[in-house]
Amino acid sequence: MRKRARLRPTRSGRRLGEPELEAHSLEWEVWSLATIEMWTFVVEAPLNLDLTGFKVEAKDGSIGKVDEATKEAGGSFIVVDTGPWIFGKKVMLPAGLIREIDPDTESIFVDRTKDEIKNAPEFDEKRYREQGYRDELGEYYGRTGMRSGERV
């Protein structure tokens, strides 16, 4: 059962009506679901498959190899060592961006371009397991997906 929000005054002094609250609530639920989906694998892979060392391909070419991969419920991601492509930096990609995993060729294909990945918030070795950092990445990759008309 969903709790109803109480009516509260806005900054202008008007009271928010139920339709506005319902629309805001629905928008929040959609955003929350999209955020969770962003961090969940949407492709099937054997549970015991270690993705470390797999090649990672963006829509328009190779971006590097998997340095680390997690399979946390609602918090899965891969960390990619970009090698010489971005001068040896790493990038973190939410698992929901993975569109295909090919165990035979040890390749992972993601639903973003090299530029979209290159322009993402910088990988932070100290914060990458924190929810706040994941929220920043999720917001960025969610926006890039909406611009290109894809599902987030």
What class, spelled out in words, does domain 55-147 have in CATH? mainly beta
Model's pTM, two decimal places? 0.72
- At residue 88, the pLDDT reads 73
Summarize pLDDT for 17-32 with one digit per residue, the tens: 444 444 444 443 433 4
- Domain edges within the chain: 55-147
Residues forming beta bridges with residue 69, ordered by sequence position: 78
User: What is the C-alpha to C-alpha distance for residues 73 and 25, in angstroms, rounded to an integer?
Assistant: 24
User: What is the C-alpha to C-alpha distance for residues 46 and 61, in angstroms, rounded to an integer?
Assistant: 25
- At residue 98, the pLDDT reads 95
- At residue 12, the pLDDT reads 45
- At residue 41, the pLDDT reads 86
**133 pLDDT tier (thresholds 50, 70, 90):** very high
Asked if 63 and 82 touch (Cβ cutoff 8 Å), the reply is yes
Summarize pLDDT for 62-105 with one digit per residue, the tens: 999 999 999 888 889 999 999 887 777 899 999 999 999 999 99
**In whole numbers, what is the pLDDT of the chain averaged over residues?**
77
